[in-house]
Amino acid sequence: MIVAKQKRKENIVEYLLYMWQVEDLIRANSFDLNKIRQNVVEKYEQPEDVKREILVWYEELIEMMKQEGVMEKGHIQLNKNIIIALTDLHLRLLKNSKEMVYAAAYYKTLPYIVELRTKASSEEVPELETCFTAIYGFLLLRMQGREISRETMEGIKQISSFLAILSEKYRQDMKGELKEED
Q: How confident is the model over 93-108, as pLDDT tens digits?
A: 999 999 999 999 999 9
Considering only 83-92, 123-132, 169-178, which range has the smallest mean pLDDT?
A: 123-132
Predicted confidence (pLDDT) at residue 136 exceeds the cutoff of 80: yes
Q: How confident is the model over 26-82, as pLDDT tens digits?
A: 999 999 999 999 999 999 899 999 999 999 999 999 999 999 999 999 999 999 999
- Nearest CA-CA partner of 127 in 92, 159, 171, 151: 159
Q: Burial of 180 by CB count in 10 Å (0-12 exposed, 13-18 middle, 19+ buried)?
A: exposed
Q: What is the pLDDT of residue 82?
A: 96
**Per-residue confidence band for 120, with pLDDT thresholds at 50, 70 and 90:** confident
Predicted confidence (pLDDT) at residue 151 exceeds the cutoff of 70: yes
pTM of the model: 0.91
Q: What is the pLDDT of residue 3?
A: 81
Q: Side-chain half-sphere of 75: how many Cα atoms within 13 Å?
A: 19
- Nearest CA-CA partner of 133 in 174, 73, 72, 69: 73
Q: What is the pLDDT of residue 5?
A: 83
What are the domain boundaries of the chain?
2-67, 77-174
Computed over every residue of the chain, the mean pLDDT equals 93
Predicted confidence (pLDDT) at residue 125 exceeds the cutoff of 90: no
How far, in Å, CA of 62 to CA of 28, rounded? 12
Predicted confidence (pLDDT) at residue 21 exceeds the cutoff of 70: yes
Contacts of the segment 91-100: beta carbons below 8 A, 24+ positions apart:
92/180, 93/166, 93/169, 95/181, 96/179, 96/180, 96/181, 97/181, 98/179, 98/181, 99/169
| Contact (Cβ atoms closer than 8 angstroms) between residue 102 and residue 172 | no
Q: Burial of 100 by CB count in 10 Å (0-12 exposed, 13-18 middle, 19+ buried)?
A: exposed
| Contact (Cβ atoms closer than 8 angstroms) between residue 129 and residue 80 | no
Q: How confident is the model over 7-20, as pLDDT tens digits?
A: 888 999 999 999 99
